[in-house]
Amino acid sequence: MQVFDAAASAATLDPAAMMQEFAAGDPRMAALVEMMQAQRAQPCNDVAAPDERDELIVEMSARLDAAEARLTKMTRIARQLHEAGRAASQRLSNLAAALGACGLCWGDDPACLGCRGRGRPGMVRPDPQIRAELFGAQSPAREAAMHSH
Ligand SMILES: [Zn+2]
């Protein structure tokens, strides 16, 4: 008890010593104390008055909010574009299958690994099911098939 009292009375008299004591046990506290001491030793030269500092904080805070809002909006747009691209690609792929075309290049790319540039519509037998889904029962292929049998 005596030891505690002596230590307490010595420490409580000196704020700097108290801060050192706080900092001793906790690294985050140590960083904070270091920051506070640095700030006291060298008052911010960039911004003179506390009012200006407050204004700066408010402005920076507003800019951060605006940036976050923009980021949220951009993320949403990117997601929508990705989804739209995926849907369009799927639809185009189905159309290629329904027309018997190369789904990779539609016959436009001589270097195409799927068709070597020969994949224009009609290259392969159209997929009857996809064709029916896209064009309905009245699709030319279905009609031709019905007439020929
Ligand atoms: Zn191709």
Q: How many domains does the chain have?
A: 2
Instruction: Specify if 2 maps to a domain.
Output: no
Q: How far is the CA of 26 from the centre of ligand 1 (A)?
A: 65
- pLDDT number for residue 146: 56
Contacts 24+ apart (CB under 8 A), 87-91: none
Find the 135 Cα to ligand 1 centroid distance in Å.
Answer: 23
Q: Does residue 1 sit within a domain?
A: no
Pair (27, 81) in one structural domain:
no
Angle, vertex CA 10, rays to CA 4 and CA 15, nearest 5: 120
Give the residue from 90, 96, 88 showing the smallest Cα distance to 127.
96
Q: Ligand 1 centroid to 100 CA: how many Å?
A: 11
> Does residue 47 contact residue 41 with C-beta atoms inside 8 Å?
no
109/59 same-domain check: yes
For residue 120, report the distance from its CA to the centre of ligand 1, in Å: 8
Are residues 135 and 79 part of one domain? yes
pLDDT tens-digit profile, the chain (149 residues): 445 554 445 445 676 776 677 677 777 777 777 777 777 766 555 556 888 999 999 999 999 999 999 999 999 999 999 999 999 999 999 999 999 999 999 999 999 999 999 999 999 999 999 999 888 876 555 556 655 55
Answering whether pTM is above 0.85, one says: no
